[in-house]
Amino acid sequence: MDSGLSPQDKKDLDKFIKFFALKTVQVIVQARLGEKICTRSSSSPTGSDWFNLAIKDIPEVTHEAKRALAGQLPGIGRSMCVEISLKTSEGDSMELETWCLEMNEKCDKDIKVSYTVYNRLSVLLKSLLAITRVTPAYKLSRKQGHDYVILYRIYFGEVQLSGLGEGFQTVRVGVVGTPVGTVTLSCAYRTNLAFMSNRQFERSAPIMGIIVDHFVDPPYSSHRPANMGQPCNYRPPDEEDGGAFVGVQDSQEVCTTSFSTSPPSQLYASRLSYQPPAAAGPAELCHPAANPNQVSVLHLHIHSTAIYPDTYKYTWDMLTNKSASPSDPVEALNAFTRKIGAFVNKPSTQVNHTSSLDLPFAAFAPRGLDSEENDPMVQPPDSPPCPSPLQASLHSQGSEGSGPQDDFVMVDFRPAFSKDDLLPMDLGTFYREFQNPPQLASLSLHISSQSMADDLDSLPEKLAVYEKNIDEFDAFVDMLQ
């Protein structure tokens, strides 16, 4: 009911709502580009900064928004929605959030359009700026790049929230009453980020304890590559990518900068500095990764710093290292061993799969060891017929060192003086890593036994020499005292 509204006010109100809708879309999409936004304040008003806020207009986004609106305005029963979704490089996608600009019937007849409504819409846009950095999708969008990208879709009509999964949350950004209805801006966002696709799991063996809702940047990429510097790719129905939208600028209308009956201060067609590079198009999203296993499991990356010990991170690196020979005899042994990693509380969830993937520090395991029988550490080569006591003790040392070589059984390891907890223990990891170093070559028995025999033979000679020089030794000792 706008009977109380003057034609000028009605016209102004329609203009405000239209540009509010367009700016809303810009703020949301720009907040999901993955980059920090920076605009400058200007003390002199220009005719193009709607709502007295410096919000750049990305032409493609404006074009998409206008196309979705198709000349209509958000009204009662006609909501404008911006859907933000995530799409992996393998083509799986998931809706993350839906922003809704709605109008309800509650009217505020007494409110001043050109002044109060305008200012309140400005405050609402500021709130939108703040809230877009707070929802979970913001962090995801800042980390987009190789593994996934963030897309947006604008539609008009009824709000669709079914794609957000169970338990989605809603946050209301704000409301502004107008004489024709109340404008409401809200966001519904997904809370359950587990990937639904089973394809991910079949392709690569999951390591136990994976949390699937961590999207962690691979260590080698901290920024989005240059060709992703464009706005979130949108999913237009006709698969059109960001082509040239020349016709957008002509419809730039002057925004209200002056709160009076005097004419607008300046006419200023906004030429935006934002020029996206040649649009990549959806095809680029699905670029094949060098190692498909690596890509898919990266979605399920272990959050190694906080929750899982560094052991698992190392194990992950082993997974991607295809050089481990599957015919490794150690693997055969491990296939029968139930491994419980240190600091893990969920051993039962472990999946027995190709055991070359299971074995941490497999690089330390010696190759070519078939069984205990050939292990020189366990059964030293035949020693000389007159074993000296020294040799006997070497033999026993050797046998002690044989243990770790042939059987991997991991037990709960709680190093002294470290905190006993689920969380990664640097001390424990250190112990584990350096617990079983390979034997030094000089200490291996068959070599040392030979040299020991030589040493023993030359011992009497050496003793004779020392006795001859005993005076020198005594003088040396006296010097030290």
Partner 1 sequence: MNCRSEVLEVTVEARQVEEAMLALLHTILLHRSTGKFHYKKEGTYSIGTVGTLDIDCDFIDFTFVRVSSEELDRVIRKAVSEFKDALSNSGSDGMGQISLEFYQKKKSRWPFSDECIPWEVWSIKVNVVNLANEQERQICREKVGEKLGEKVINVVEVINRHEYLPKMPTQSEVDNVFDTSLKDVQPYLYKITFQITDSLGTSVSTTMRRLIKDTLAL
In the chain, what's the furthest Cα-to-Cα distance?
125
Smaller CB separation from partner 1, 171 or 443: 171
- Contact call for residue 348 and partner 1 (CB under 8 A): no
- Contact call for residue 393 and partner 1 (CB under 8 A): no
Of the candidates 15, 120, 153, 301, which one interacts with partner 1 according to CB under 8 A?
120
- Contact call for residue 134 and partner 1 (CB under 8 A): yes
**Kind of pairing between the strands at 93-104 and 181-189:** antiparallel
Report the nearest approach of partner 1 to the CB of residue 233 (Å). 21
- Contact call for residue 271 and partner 1 (CB under 8 A): no
- 480 CB-side CA count, 13 A: 5
Of the candidates 42, 352, 397, 451, which one interacts with partner 1 according to CB under 8 A?
42
- Contact call for residue 479 and partner 1 (CB under 8 A): no
Q: Which residue is associated with the tokens 């007849």?
A: 109
Of the candidates 39, 221, 227, 374, which one interacts with partner 1 according to CB under 8 A?
39
Smaller CB separation from partner 1, 123 or 194: 123
Report d(CA 190, CA 196) in Å as an integer: 13
Report the nearest approach of partner 1 to the CB of residue 124 (Å). 7
**Kind of pairing between the strands at 79-88 and 93-104:** antiparallel
Report d(CA 363, CA 314) in Å as an integer: 11
In terms of Cα–Cα distance, which of 34, 30, 424 is closest to 221? 34
Q: Which residue is associated with the tokens 């922003």?
A: 99
- Contact call for residue 258 and partner 1 (CB under 8 A): yes
Count of residues that interact with partner 1, criterion CB under 8 A: 51
Report d(CA 404, CA 62) in Å as an integer: 66
Of the candidates 176, 318, 357, 445, which one interacts with partner 1 according to CB under 8 A?
176
Phi, psi of 125 (to 5 degrees): -65, -35
Of the candidates 12, 14, 19, 37, which one interacts with partner 1 according to CB under 8 A?
37
- Contact call for residue 260 and partner 1 (CB under 8 A): yes
Are 181 and 97 within 8 A, CB to CB? no
Report the nearest approach of partner 1 to the CB of residue 10 (Å). 22
Report d(CA 195, CA 213) in Å as an integer: 7
- Contact call for residue 305 and partner 1 (CB under 8 A): yes
- 44 CB-side CA count, 13 A: 4
Report d(CA 204, CA 242) in Å as an integer: 35
Smaller CB separation from partner 1, 216 or 279: 216
Find the DSSP H helices in 401-444.
Answer: 403-406, 426-435
- Contact call for residue 123 and partner 1 (CB under 8 A): yes
Which one of 132-140, 311-319, 381-389, 391-399 is the stretch in contact with partner 1 (CB under 8 A)? 132-140
Of the candidates 84, 131, 330, 377, which one interacts with partner 1 according to CB under 8 A?
131
The footprint of partner 1 (CB under 8 A) covers 36-46, 49, 52-54, 115, 120, 122-124, 126-127, 129-131, 133-135, 138-139, 142, 171-177, 257-262, 265, 305-306, 419, 421, 423-424
